[in-house]
Amino acid sequence: MTEQSVGRRVVINMSLSLDGHYAGPRDPEDNDWGMPYAHTDVARDHMACIHETATTALLGRVNAEGFLGFWPAVIGMEGVDPRDEGFAQWLLGTEKVVLSSTLGQAPWERTTIVDKPAAEVVADLKATKGADILVLNSASVIKALLAADEVDRLALTVFPVFLGGGPRLFDDGLPAGRWSLVSQAAGEHGTLALVYDRVR
The CATH number covering residue 40 comes to: 3.40.430.10
3-state secondary structure of 115: coil
Candidates 23, 18, 17, 8; CA nearest to 139 is 23
Q: How far is Cα 117 from Cα 143, in angstroms, rounded to an integer? A: 12
Tell me what pLDDT residue 72 has.
86
Tell me what pLDDT residue 6 has.
55
Burial group, residue 147, by CB count within 10 angstroms (0-12, 13-18, 19+):
middle
Instruction: Give the count of domains, the chain.
Output: 1
Per the structure, the complete domain to which residue 180 belongs is given by 3-199
pLDDT per residue of the chain (200 residues) written in tens, 0 to 9 = 333 345 799 999 999 999 999 998 887 777 788 888 888 999 999 999 999 999 999 999 988 988 888 888 889 999 999 999 999 999 999 999 999 999 888 888 899 999 999 999 999 999 999 999 999 999 999 999 999 999 999 999 999 999 999 999 999 999 999 999 999 999 888 999 999 999 99
Tell me what pLDDT residue 2 has.
37
Contact at 8 Å (CB) between 66 and 35?
no
